[in-house]
Amino acid sequence: MPAMEGSELPPGLALAWGLPAKTTKLGRKPSQSIEQIVGAAVELADADGYGALSMPKIAQRLGLTANAIYRYVRSRDELLVLVAEAGWATAPDLASGTGDWRAAASMWTRAMIDRCDVHPWLCDLPVRGAPVTPNLLGWAEAILKVLTGAGLTPTEALGCAFVLDGYARQVGGMRRDLRHSTATPVQSDTVTRFLLPRLRERGHSVLAFMMDGNDYSGDVVDDDVTFGLDRILDGIGVLVTAKRAAEPPSQVHPGTCEGEGGPRADASDATV
C-alpha cells in the first residue's frame, strides 16, 4: 500500500488505520501512547459526558501538560475520530445469525443501541460524513451485506442503513437523557392528578385514556424499541418483496442463502 502524507487525509484517519503520528524528534521521548490517550478520553467521557472531552482535561488525567498532548494528536477533531472508533468497537457478527435479513438487521440496530448504552456520549459525537475508519467501516459493511443479500441494490441498502442508524442513535440518546433526568415521572400520582382534568378540558381524550390506565410513560422500554424497529423493518420488507417479485424466478441474488433470502457467511461481493 503506497504511503500517504498525513496532511493529505482528514484528521485522525491515518492514526485510526495504525499509521504512526508525525512527531518532532526534539524533546523528550513520549511517555504515553496513542492508545493511552484515547483510553483516557473514553474514561473521561464515560464519567463526565461528551462535554468533558477537552484536550486540557485529558492531558491532566494523564499527568501531561496542556501542550504535551499535541505531540500525540494534532487537534480535538483528530482525537474525536479516534474516540469514536474506540467507542463503537467492532461490528456484531451477523453471519452467525439465522440467515434471515430481518433478524440480522434487528441484531445490528440493537447492537448500536447497546453501544450507546455502554458509552452514552456516542450519541453526541458529530457525524462528519460516511464511515472511513476500520471499526465504523466494519459496521457499515455488516449491514450493507445483509441488505444487499436480501436483494437490494447497494444504494437502496445504504439508504435503509441510514434509517436504522438514525433510529438506533435516537433511541440511545433518549434512553441516556431519561436515565439522567431529575424530573418527576409522568406516571406519578401527583402528575396524573394534575394533568388528567386538564387533558379532558382540552379534549385530549386519547392521552387522558392512556394516562388514566398507566399506559402513558416517558420511559423507552424494550417493547417500545421493538415496536419502532419492527415498523422500520416492515417498510424495508416491502421494498425487499418488490425487488424479489421483479427478479426472474431462477435468479438468486449474490450474497443470499437460496430459499431463505438471508446473508451468507461468505458473502463478499456487496459494495457501496
pLDDT of residue 268: 34
125-164 pLDDT tens trace: 988 888 999 999 999 999 999 999 999 999 999 999 999 9
Query: Reduced to 3 states, what is the DSSP secondary structure of residue 116?
Result: helix
Q: Where in the chain is the domain with CATH 1.10.357.10?
A: 89-272
Residues in contact with 1: Cβ distance below 8 Å, sequence separation at least 6, in sequence order: none
pLDDT of residue 222: 85
Torsions phi, psi of 101, nearest 5?
-60, -40
156-201 pLDDT tens trace: 999 999 999 999 999 999 999 888 777 777 777 888 889 999 999 9
**Can you identify the CATH homologous superfamily of domain 89-272?**
Tetracycline Repressor, domain 2 (1.10.357.10)
pLDDT of residue 179: 82
Where residue 14 falls (left for φ over 0; alpha for ψ -120 to 50; beta otherwise) is alpha
Greater pLDDT, 105 or 186: 105
Q: Where in the chain is the domain with CATH 1.10.10.60?
A: 9-87
DSSP string computed for 160-179: HHHHHHHHHHHHHHHHHHHH
CA quadruple 209, 215, 216, 222: dihedral, nearest 10: -160
pLDDT, average across residues 1-22: 73
Low-confidence winner among 38-42, 88-92, 170-174, 183-187 (lowest mean pLDDT) = 183-187
- Rg of the chain over CA atoms, in angstroms? 23
pLDDT, average across residues 30-53: 92
Q: Is the pLDDT of residue 44 over 90?
A: yes
Structure confidence at residue 83 as a pLDDT band (50, 70, 90): very high
Low-confidence winner among 8-12, 133-137, 265-269 (lowest mean pLDDT) = 265-269
Q: Above pLDDT 90, what percent of the chain?
A: 60
Low-confidence winner among 29-33, 54-58, 106-110 (lowest mean pLDDT) = 29-33
Where are the alpha helices (H) located in the chain, listed in sequence order?
A: 13-16, 34-48, 55-62, 76-88, 101-118, 134-149, 154-179, 189-201, 205-212, 222-246
| Residue 237: CB atoms within 10 Å | 15
Write the class of the CATH domain 9-87: mainly alpha
Structure confidence at residue 24 as a pLDDT band (50, 70, 90): very low
Q: Is the pLDDT of residue 241 over 60?
A: yes
Q: Is the pLDDT of residue 267 over 60?
A: no
